Amino acid sequence: MQKQIIRPVGVYPPTADFSQAIRVSGGDLVFVSGIIGMRADGTMPADTREQVELAFANLAAVLDAAGATPADVVKVNVFVRDDFRLVRDDVREIRARYFTHDFPVSTLVQVAGFAGPEYRFEIEAIAAVPSRADGAASVAAPARVSSG
């Protein structure tokens, strides 16, 4: 699988650690649903920074279950509820631990709300990984969390 970072001439440079475009060839794509900062037991911290930490850790775990790593991520969409200026430094610091080079393309959106009123952060991703010769995926059985 090849991942080529596109650095266009005549376009403004990235304003943070992301790539303007990426071309992928010779691999499989893994699409990851929106991941939130929820613990395995279904509880959520009230603090935005803790939710961001958990969301990135959850993303890494989901990628791992799919045979991928954060280095394989080519696209992320990040959604924040708080004014981004208030959480920017925390999000960038935590993100930098997971995306260290050949940064994924990225979109950040501030939203009015999420599916749950306690949600403050969500991230979804697309990863490009080498094709598996046997066509099988490494999939763990999902844990079910009951809300009541």
Backbone angles phi, psi at 98, to 5 degrees: -100, -35
CATH code of the domain containing 120: 3.30.1330.40
Q: Identify the pLDDT of residue 30.
A: 96
Domain that holds residue 9: 2-131
Which strands make up the sheet holding 121-130, listed edge to edge? 27-36, 121-130, 73-80, 105-110
CA distance 42 to 91: 22
CB 108 within 8 A of CB 88: no
Q: What is the pLDDT of residues 67-102, one digit of tens each?
A: 999 999 999 999 999 888 999 999 999 999 999 999
Domain count, the chain: 1
Residues 6+ apart with CB under 8 A from 112: 81
pTM of the model: 0.83
21 assigned to some structural domain = yes
